[in-house]
Structure 1
Amino acid sequence: MRGFFRPLACALLLASAWPAAAAADALSDYVAARDQAIAASLAAAKAHKSGDDAIIKRETAAMKDLSKRLTAVLGPMTFKALGSPTYTLNMLTYDEITPTRQLDGISFANADYTTRLVVTPEPVFNAWLAARAKDDDAPPALGAGPKAAMATNAFYNDALVFDGGYFQPYLELPITTTPGEKAYAVLGLQIDEAPGNALPDDIAILRIANGKAMVGLTSANLDIKPIAACNALWKPHEDKAAALTKVVEKDNKPEDPRWNDIQKILDEGSTAFRTCFAKEAPSQPFYAAAVGRAEAFLKAISGN
């Protein structure tokens, strides 16, 4: 009987390995096709032909093909209240010499765009994050792993699509994970300008499981009250910047360098405010609700 079960066991092992091998081949094919399309676009940009109709038509076709390839790699996905999937890349080059910095994946969003999600194969995510850590303007935290990267607004600039704004993280939220799953949550604020002492009200999540990485952002709708101790740290910077602004406006000099000084004062005050907020948050009434919303968001995206 042992002689019978041994070939059977080998056959079952090979059968189980086949889907994994096929998936790896499909992913390799996608990455190769993406890199080839980017190289072609960079060559066109270098030759100053990127605006040609033929080049635009070719890039559009390439991105349509890449979308199909990546969708096949990831498999069918649906998320409650989120719309149809779309390919994240809408351009292949950042400038004439640099490939796009954007995370390539399949994105989902609700009708008012207050919740969005990007899903990509884990190897694609890891390679993207490693590349972003090597950018000239990258903060050191981008090279210290996903959890550390989520503490920087640079991480979200290219992981998620923003229409003129950005996401400013304030503090990490503890969330419960399941075996084989890595997940991190951050409370922050999606904003169009420097945050100052604005209160956070958005939750970002990174989930890595089952060979996929998911980066999501959703409105938290929290009832956060001002924290007096933190506003006390912000106020002197606000007052100092306001006083200097009056002087600069009165002098009315073209390209006055003191505008940079004003922004530096405000940035320092905002950093002090956010540091205080992160320290005080766990003892505030809103904190439990924030953690609950983060865990609910994680659960909502964990079905695929």
Structure 2
Amino acid sequence: MRLVWTIIFALATGAAFAASPEDDYIAARDKAISAIATMESANEPVETRDAAGTKALADLEKRLSAILGPLAVAGFPATGTINIESLSDSDIGFGMLDGLRYAKSDDRPSLVATTRGLLERWLQSRAAEMDASFRLPAGIDAALKLDAFYTQAINSDAAFTGTLDFPLKKPEGADIAFARLGGWAQDIGPNPDQQVIVTLVKGNSVMIASAPAAPPVPKIAACDALWASADAAAQKFQEAYQASDLKDQKAYDAGNAAWEKGDADYRACMGEHLPGEPVFPALLAQAQELADHMAGK
């Protein structure tokens, strides 16, 4: 009898410590990253490395599809492609959030889906970043309030800057519902291409949807004036820098500081004034509809 119970205990213990599909995915991802890094160190041909990366991403996409299952959100396709764009740390698109991206075309709304477990692991890795400029909090609630989260998680070639947060009503059954208006750009200053970004956490499911603001965000004269003034001041500092034989670093830094302050002041102004604009109810409704659809309504 003791032998029987020993066998049962061993089987139960083995089952308890068996790797989960998420564990298997992370192990496969890290193995692929390591293999490609080894190929780069050995100076193997670019074509060989690219082929290995493409094959590995396809395998990871298949694993994620099995973990997530088909998507059932109105306005988005049922199947997606891997959100990570590269497995080489020397490429743009490396280290993005582990998940699948769903979109009918490049210019249509997109949705990145993952699990709470994968998101928490990803945030833990960002919290441990040696480079402070890439560091994120480990908690989901805190991370969602930072523009850097969206920059690192769901886009690869531009930085996200927020304009305002929407007062969402959390859909029934959702644990977290957060929405922000903002845009991606490679430079600071007014960005007319605003996006409505909505994140919904429900049980083990995490979805981040991004859609062009509809209607478009209007210009607000008072905010444009703030930016124009800051831009003019920055330009004068930059002209002084260029005119200096020694390239006065103080003038250069002052110009950049004027641009950065002008950008922050402009976005704060937009955040203050936009809720009073005629378009705001429609923008809020767009964010709420995205949240409700992701929650299964």
Q: What TM-score, normalized by structure 2, do the two folds share?
A: 0.79
The correspondence of residues 1-304 of structure 1 with structure 2, limited to 5 A, is 25-45=20-40, 47-49=41-43, 51=45, 53-83=47-77, 84-95=79-90, 100-138=94-132, 142-143=136-137, 145-162=139-156, 164-177=157-170, 178-194=172-188, 196-198=189-191, 201-249=194-242, 251=243, 257=249, 258-303=251-296
- Alpha-carbon distance, 1:129 to partner: 1.7
**Counterpart amino acid of residue 42 in structure 2:** H
- Post-superposition shift, 1:236? 3.1
Change (3 A) 1:54 1:230: closer
| 1:241 shift after superposition | 1.4
Do the aligned partners of 2:174 and 2:200 also contact (CA within 8 Å) in 1? Answer: no
Q: Is the 8 A contact 1:102 1:159 kept in 2?
A: yes
SS of 2:136's equivalent? helix
Percent of aligned pairs with the same amino acid: 27
Cα gap change, 1:26 to 1:223, in 2 (>3 Å): closer
User: One-letter code of the match for 2:205?
Assistant: K
- 1:17 maps to none
Q: What are structure 1's unaligned runs of at least 5 residues?
A: 1-20
1:153-190 CA-to-partner distances (Å, cap 9, x unmatched) read 3212221134x333211111111222243111001123
Aligned-partner SS, 1:143: coil
For the Cα contact (< 8 Å) 2:214–2:282, is it kept in 1?
Answer: no
CA distance in 1, matches of 2:174, 2:198: 17
Secondary structure of the 2:173 match is: coil
Question: How far did residue 301 of structure 1 move?
Answer: 3.1
Q: Secondary structure at the match of 1:190?
A: strand
Q: Distance in 1 between matches of 2:48 and 2:237?
A: 53
SS at match of 1:179: coil
Q: Is the contact between residue 116 and residue 204 of structure 2 (CA under 8 Å) also seen in structure 1?
A: yes
* Residue identity matched to 1:104: D
SS at match of 2:155: coil
Gapped runs of 5+ residues in structure 2?
Answer: 1-15
Greater mean deviation of Cα atoms: 251-260 or 262-271:
251-260
Q: 2:127 touches 2:137 (CA, 8 Å); kept in 1?
A: yes
- Aligned residue in 1 for 2:10: none
**TM-aligned CA deviation for residue 137 of structure 1:** 4.1
Distance 2:143 2:22 in 1: 25
Cα pair distance change 1:256/1:105, threshold 3 Å: farther
Partner Cα separation in structure 1 for residue 44 and residue 146 of structure 2: 32
Q: Which moved more, 1:131-140 or 1:259-268?
A: 131-140
C-alpha spacing 1:92/1:289, structure 2 compared with 1 (3 Å): same
CA separation of 1:261/1:102 partners in 2, compared to 1, >3 Å: closer, same or farther?
Answer: same
Mark the CA change 1:275 to 1:50 in structure 2 (over 3 Å): closer, same or farther.
farther
Contact 2:236–2:255 (8 Å) recurs in 1: no
Distance 1:161 1:229, change over 3 A: closer
User: Number of residue pairs matched?
Assistant: 277
TM-score (norm 1): 0.77
**Contact 1:41–1:50 (CA under 8 A) maintained in structure 2:** no
Measure the CA separation in 2 of the matches of 1:75 and 1:276.
42
Structure 1 residue aligned with 2:11: none
Q: 1:216 to 1:223 in 2, by over 3 A?
A: closer
Work out the CA distance in 2 between the residues paired with 1:266 and 1:224. Answer: 22
Letter in 1 for 2:80: P
Preserved contact between residue 241 and residue 252 of structure 2 (Cα < 8 Å): yes
Kept in 2, the 8 Å contact 1:172–1:187? The answer is yes
Alignment partners' CA distance in 2, 1:38 and 1:140: 19
